Amino acid sequence: GAVVSQHPSWVICKSGTSVKIECRSLDFQATTMFWYRQFPKQSLMLMATSNEGSKATYEQGVEKDKFLINHASLTLSTLTVTSAHPEDSSFYICSAGVFRGFGEKLFFGSGTQLSVL
Amino acid sequence: AQSVSQHNHHVILSEAASLELGCNYSYGGTVNLFWYVQYPGQHLQLLLKYFSGDPLVKGIKGFEAEFIKSKFSFNLRKPSVQWSDTAEYFCAVNARTDSSYKLIFGSGTRLLVRP
* Structural domain spans, chain B: 3-114
Q: Considering chain B, what is the average pLDDT of its residues?
A: 88
Instruction: Give the residue from B7, B98, B103, B105 with the most A CB atoms within 10 Å of its CB, the best one to mutate.
Output: B103
Q: Is the pLDDT of residue A72 over 90?
A: no
> In chain B, what residues touch A93 (CB-CB under 8 Å)?
43-44
Cα of A44 to nearest chain B Cα, Å:
6
Question: Would you state the pLDDT for residue B28?
Answer: 75
pLDDT over 70 for what percent of chain A? 86
Would you tell me how many other CB atoms lie within 10 Å of the CB of residue A108?
Answer: 22
Q: Is the pLDDT of residue B56 over 90?
A: yes
Q: Do B100 and A32 touch (CB under 8 A)?
A: yes
Question: Would you state the pLDDT for residue B2?
Answer: 73
Band of residue A103 on the pLDDT scale cut at 50, 70, 90 = very low
pLDDT over 90 for what percent of chain B? 56
Q: Which of A42, A99, A108 sits opposite B101 (nearest CB)?
A: A99
Question: Would you state the pLDDT for residue A99?
Answer: 64
Burial class of residue A38 (count of CB atoms within 10 Å of its CB; 0-12, 13-18, 19+): buried
Mean pLDDT of B100-106: 73
> In chain A, what residues touch B46 (CB-CB under 8 Å)?
106
Mean pLDDT of B14-31: 91
C-beta of residue A87 within 8 angstroms of C-beta of residue A99: no
Of B85, B111, B104, nearest to B29 (Cα)?
A: B104
Q: Do B43 and A49 touch (CB under 8 A)?
A: no
Give the CATH H-level superfamily of domain B3-114: Immunoglobulins (2.60.40.10)
> In chain B, what residues touch A46 (CB-CB under 8 Å)?
102-105
Segments of chain B assigned E as strands: 3-5, 10-14, 19-21, 24-26, 31-38, 44-50, 56-58, 64-68, 73-78, 87-97, 100-105, 109-114
Mean pLDDT of A38-55: 78
